[in-house]
Structure 1
Amino acid sequence: MVEWTGKFAYQQVADDLRRRIADGEFAKTGQLPSYGDLQKAYEITVTVARSAINQLKANGLVVSHQGKGVFLTPDAGSTAAQLADPVGTMTELREEVEKLRSEVGELRQRVATLEGA
């Protein structure tokens, strides 16, 4: 159950589902609970459940198939983990940018050396 805060209910449900996806809770089946199950588990309306799922779709975490359910995308776990930890993701990106800058600097030096020869 979600501890309700000042955020919109659908955002809180989507945040909780994102966390659960990142934790691998749905990895075995690859399928999220039905709207009805979400309504019962979170004590929400179907509209809130749909809005939460739509947010996960917008994040690229799930796809829905009418009459079959909502399913994880192939990289949902890693994407959800990145969304759940934006600070960690930013740190990784900064490190990668610094590495690339260093490599580009080395390449510039090598080109300058070759052109001078």
Structure 2
Amino acid sequence: MVEWTGKFAYQQVADDLRRRIADGEFAETGQLPSYGDLQKSYEITVTVARTAINQLKTNGLVVSHQGKGVFLTPDADRTAAQLADPVGAVTELREEVEKLRTEVGELRQRVATLEGD
């Protein structure tokens, strides 16, 4: 259950669902609870549930299929973790960029060597 704050209800539900996605709670089935289940567990209206899910869609975490449900995207857990920890995400991206720079530098040297022969 969410401890309600001054934020809009849909934002709080979306934040909690992001956290749950990042924690791998839905990884086994790859599917989020139905709107009805969200309404019951968070004690919200269907409009709030839909708006929260739409926010997750905007974040690229889920896709919905009419009549079937809401499903995680392939990298949803990683994306959710990055959204939950933006500082950690920036650090991870910096490390990745540095690794790529090193690899590009090595490739340039190899190409220069091959062109020089």
TM-score tier after normalising by the smaller chain length: 0.7 to 0.9
TM normalised by structure 2 equals 0.83
TM normalised by structure 1 equals 0.83
Give per-residue Cα distances to partners, 1:68-101, cap 9 Å, x unaligned: 1101111111111111111101112233445556
**Kindly tell me: are residues 75 and 115 of structure 1, through their superposed partners in 2, closer, same or farther at Cα, counting changes over 3 Å?**
closer
Corresponding residue SS for 1:32? coil
> Structure 1 CA distance, aligned partners of 2:82 and 2:10?
20
Count of equivalent residues? 117
Question: Relative to structure 2, which stretch is displaced further, 14-23 or 99-108?
Answer: 99-108
Output the aligned Cα RMSD: 2.2
- Equivalent residue, structure 2, for 1:45: 45
In structure 2, the gaps of 5 or more residues are none
> Structure 2 CA distance, aligned partners of 1:95 and 1:110?
23
> What percent of counterpart residues are identical?
91
**Kindly tell me: are residues 104 and 3 of structure 1, through their superposed partners in 2, closer, same or farther at Cα, counting changes over 3 Å?**
same
In structure 1, the gaps of 5 or more residues are none
**Kindly tell me: are residues 112 and 10 of structure 1, through their superposed partners in 2, closer, same or farther at Cα, counting changes over 3 Å?**
same
Corresponding residue SS for 1:71? strand
Question: Relative to structure 2, which stretch is displaced further, 94-103 or 30-39?
Answer: 94-103
> Structure 1 CA distance, aligned partners of 2:56 and 2:46?
15
Question: Relative to structure 2, which stretch is displaced further, 75-84 or 89-98?
Answer: 89-98
